[in-house]
Chain A
Amino acid sequence: MINPTIVGFIRKELSQALRDKRMRGMLVIMPIVQLLMFGYALSSEIRNIHLAVVAPPSDVFTRELAERFYSSRWFTRVAPGVGTPVDWLRSGRAEAVLIAPAIGAEKAVGRGSAVYQLLLDATNAGRARGVEQYVQAILQSQLRARGDPGADSFSFSVRTLYNPANDTATYLVPGTLCLLLCLATLTLTSMSMTREREVGTLETLLAAPVSPWEVLIGKTVPFAILGMCDVPLVLAVSWAMGVPIRGPLWEIFLVSLVFVSTSVSLGFLISSYTKSAQQAQLGTFLILFPAIQLSGVVYPVENMPYVVKLITYLDPIRYLVIMIRHLMLKGGDIGLLLPNLLGLAAIGAAAVFWAGRRFRQTLN
């Protein structure tokens, strides 16, 4: 049985949200632009390492080595300038400086062994570690090419599963998609009740013969619908960018639906606690910012301190990220999906229940 009150309610909210041309644009264009932007812009590969090589001009060994660096796709040539090598690093002109022995590596090798010094800007510790590895690997290849018996004969061959070409879009799109979905729904809903209160229509609403649950549904379902409209949109964009979608589509939609429902309930909850639009916005920021940080999109959850790891179980985006990444890149392992879906659903149910109770209190 379809409740006419709720249908009317939903229609009103939808037309209210879509009346604004800019709002329509926001819902459609923003996700596409951002997805494209991050999919193509970001890279977790270490590239474009600004390397300066310092060696006496007669040093053939170092010149060959330098050629190896610059012809690989990782390094960018930086000419040694004025000042000391440390100054180049300090000013950010160079990220790494390779210094040959003063007599030149060619002569030093002839006398026995040459020791290079590699100065690295370790501001970004992880990147510095990666740069050192690349430099060492290229030296090894030079030694092997020269037939040096002392060259390393043990190495690792690394293969990245699910994304063998190290395609940036494949890495980042699934996670970004989750964030966009959350941004769109939570921000919309968190204003819904506050707006009524500010405009003064809340009293009308209270006086009207509607039950609290009808208000709750009428205030959340429209935004869930809008949020779900974004799902095929962003999936299409991801697909167009060449990101695989290996899991079944219906599972992706199911997962998104559970998430969107949770997200709008949380938004409703925020808006039921705030008295002004300003407070609602701050409240949203307070929830959204940590939720994004703890979701595992930008940095791994596994690294977080134990207590914080426990907190991440309260973060609905975290469950979504795990499931969407899995569904898009790997397929649908039910043993993985089910606990995460249940966890998300539990948070959603709690949010709905709490919001309903909270709203009934407001009514009385």
Chain B
Amino acid sequence: MKGGFVLSRALSIARKELHHIMRDPVTLAASLGLPVIFVFFFGFVIDLNVRDVGLLVADADHTRASRELVQLFDASGYFRTRPAASEADAVLALGAERGKAALIIPAQFERNLRAGRPVSGQILLDGADNAYAGTVAGYLGGIQKAAQARLIGATSPRATIRARFLFNPELNSRWFIVPGIFVIIVGLISSLLTALTVAREWENGSMELLMSTPVRPLEIILGKIGPYLVLSLVGVALVYGLARGVFGVPFQGNHLVFLLATGLFLAATMAQGLVISVVTRQQQLAFQLAMNTGMLPIQLLSGFIYPVESMSPFFRYLTTILPARWYMTIARALFLKAPTLAMLAEPFGALTVLSIVFVAFALRKFKMDLEP
């Protein structure tokens, strides 16, 4: 009597779900408004460039050369210098959070410079704040070059390197952050919504009701998730407009490829939400699991801030099972780098495989859960 998959039955479930969503303004606002608000807010908030780094200067030389070096730090726009009596004093001040870095200029600094001996200024970084220390270290290159020219005069080494920064010539960290936070938020919200909608059906007891009807599990699930997929896609479109319109992030790639990748990614995250809701047939647990498995790993392991390339090999391989990691690569490439589809073969292939595996697993899990 129960035949195979019947589209009309799935559609009626979808219609029912749509009514639910429309009637519940909170869900509607969450699925459309949240991504936009979060991306907007955090696109502005997250800035990986540091400015006004409190730099404690312990100058044991007190010469024109040492003062010139300090001036270079001041003029860079990244640092705000403050004198410290000695190296020990500077270290103490860092310990009491009265500065973020210290510059120690040794005695005989100028004399050694004049004599043509290699000289160095010592930089102490506050290692307690990693995000900060890394960025500050990044600024030293420019200052080193300037100091070399200013203190020693223009030298002409036999080989030089001229660097060209492609895809983001102004080194705008927003271009990196906005596509990234986009992936994080879309992923989190879609998996959260899916987990909730299925869990709610169980909790209300209406899942039993659905099961007693001739509707098959596959139809239930597609019917329930379909509307959320559409809703999430609309959310993605809104966020895309925000990234381009407000943040001025260019989009170099192909929109069709982007849509395809987004569909795959959403399928994977929704399947994840589905598995969570099946595994924990209780809302509190479903939520705890979604939060715990979702919020931190997706942010820390997907390459959003900490590049996957820098991870230890074991974890580099582990991240390959995260759809967000691949979608992140694809999204960033599409926004900034104008890749051809062939260039995206690896992340695209991985994302496709993951989506299929996740969806198949979720469906199986769900069917087993429903069929006695």
Query: Which residues from chain A sit less than 8 Å from chain B, CB to CB?
Result: 20, 22-23, 26, 30, 34, 37-38, 40-50, 61, 86-87, 89-92, 95, 98, 105, 108-109, 112-130, 132-133, 135-136, 139-140, 142-143, 146, 148-164, 166, 170-172, 174, 176, 179-180, 183, 187-188, 191, 195, 198, 277-279, 281-282, 284-286, 288-290, 292-294, 296, 298-300, 302-305, 308, 322, 325-326, 329-331, 333, 335-336
Identify the stretch in B8-16, B152-160, B211-219 within 8 Å (CB) of chain A at 4 or more residues.
B152-160
The residue in A125, A187, A292 that gathers the most chain B C-beta atoms within 10 A of its C-beta is: A125
Decide if A163 touches B158 in the complex (CB within 8 Å): no
Query: Main SS of the interface on chain B?
Result: helix
B63, chain A: closest CB distance, angstroms: 14
A85, chain B: closest CB distance, angstroms: 9
Name the one of A34, A153, A160 contacting B292, with C-beta atoms under 8 angstroms: A34
**Total residue contacts A-B, CB cutoff 8 A:** 360
| Closest chain B residue, CB of each to CB of A191 | B284
Please report the C-alpha to C-alpha distance between residue A294 and residue B44 in the assembled complex, in whole angstroms. Answer: 12
Tell me, yes or no, whether B51 is within 8 Å of chain A by CB.
yes
CB-CB under 8 A from A279, the residues of chain B are 26
Q: How many residues of B are counted as interface, with CB atoms below 8 angstroms from the partner's CB atoms?
A: 118
Tell me, yes or no, whether B241 is within 8 Å of chain A by CB.
no
Name the one of B135, B306, B339 contacting A90, with C-beta atoms under 8 angstroms: B339
Tell me, yes or no, whether B137 is within 8 Å of chain A by CB.
yes
Decide if B343 touches A87 in the complex (CB within 8 Å): yes
In chain B, positions 179-207 with a C-beta closer than 8 Å to chain A are 188, 192, 196, 200, 203
Please report the C-alpha to C-alpha distance between residue A47 and residue B145 in the assembled complex, in whole angstroms. Answer: 23
Decide if B306 touches A187 in the complex (CB within 8 Å): no
30 contacts between A and B (CB under 8 A): A20-B282, A43-B310, A48-B310, A90-B337, A92-B343, A112-B158, A114-B159, A118-B163, A119-B166, A123-B168, A123-B332, A132-B141, A133-B138, A150-B157, A153-B119, A158-B140, A160-B124, A161-B94, A183-B295, A187-B288, A277-B203, A279-B26, A284-B291, A290-B38, A300-B50, A302-B50, A305-B44, A308-B45, A329-B128, A335-B96
Decide if A116 touches B168 in the complex (CB within 8 Å): no
Decide if B138 touches A129 in the complex (CB within 8 Å): yes
Tell me, yes or no, whether B57 is within 8 Å of chain A by CB.
no
Decide if A298 touches B299 in the complex (CB within 8 Å): yes
Decide if A122 touches B203 in the complex (CB within 8 Å): no
Please report the C-alpha to C-alpha distance between residue A132 and residue B145 in the assembled complex, in whole angstroms. Answer: 12
Q: Which 3 A-B pairs have the closest CB atoms?
A: A91-B343, A163-B127, A150-B157
CB-CB under 8 A from A148, the residues of chain B are 157-159
Decide if A45 touches B280 in the complex (CB within 8 Å): no
Given the known inter-chain contacts A119-B166, A154-B119, please indicate yes or no for A125 contacting B159, CB distance below 8 A.
Answer: no
**Apart from A171-B130, A281-B283, what are 15 other A-B pairs with CB-CB below 8 Å?**
A22-B280, A109-B158, A115-B160, A118-B161, A149-B155, A154-B152, A157-B121, A161-B127, A170-B127, A195-B284, A278-B196, A282-B26, A299-B46, A303-B50, A336-B96
The residue in A130, A153, A170 that gathers the most chain B C-beta atoms within 10 A of its C-beta is: A153
CB-CB under 8 A from A290, the residues of chain B are 38, 41
CB-CB under 8 A from A143, the residues of chain B are 157-159
Please report the C-alpha to C-alpha distance between residue A43 and residue B305 in the assembled complex, in whole angstroms. Answer: 10
Decide if A171 touches B113 in the complex (CB within 8 Å): no
A291, chain B: closest CB distance, angstroms: 11
Given the known inter-chain contacts A113-B160, A123-B337, A305-B45, please indicate yes or no for A161 contacting B119, CB distance below 8 A.
Answer: no
Given the known inter-chain contacts A156-B144, A302-B50, please indicate yes or no for A135 contacting B159, CB distance below 8 A.
Answer: no
CB-CB under 8 A from A44, the residues of chain B are 130-131, 133-134, 306, 310
| Closest chain B residue, CB of each to CB of A164 | B127
A110, chain B: closest CB distance, angstroms: 9
Decide if B306 touches A43 in the complex (CB within 8 Å): yes
Identify the stretch in B170-178, B224-232, B262-270 within 8 Å (CB) of chain A at 4 or more residues.
B170-178
| Closest chain B residue, CB of each to CB of A43 | B310
In chain B, positions 26-83 with a C-beta closer than 8 Å to chain A are 26-27, 30, 34, 38, 41-42, 44-52
Decide if B165 touches A277 in the complex (CB within 8 Å): no
CB-CB under 8 A from A152, the residues of chain B are 144, 148, 155, 157
Decide if B122 touches A156 in the complex (CB within 8 Å): yes
B55, chain A: closest CB distance, angstroms: 12
| Closest chain A residue, CB of each to CB of B293 | A30
In chain B, positions 241-296 with a C-beta closer than 8 Å to chain A are 280, 282-285, 287-289, 291-292, 295-296
Name the one of A34, A105, A304, A333 contacting B296, with C-beta atoms under 8 angstroms: A34
B364, chain A: closest CB distance, angstroms: 20
Given the known inter-chain contacts A114-B158, A120-B165, please indicate yes or no for A302 contacting B296, CB distance below 8 A.
Answer: no
CB-CB under 8 A from B47, the residues of chain A are 299, 303-305
A171, chain B: closest CB distance, angstroms: 4
CB-CB under 8 A from B128, the residues of chain A are 162-163, 174, 325-326, 329-330
Tell me, yes or no, whether B350 is within 8 Å of chain A by CB.
no
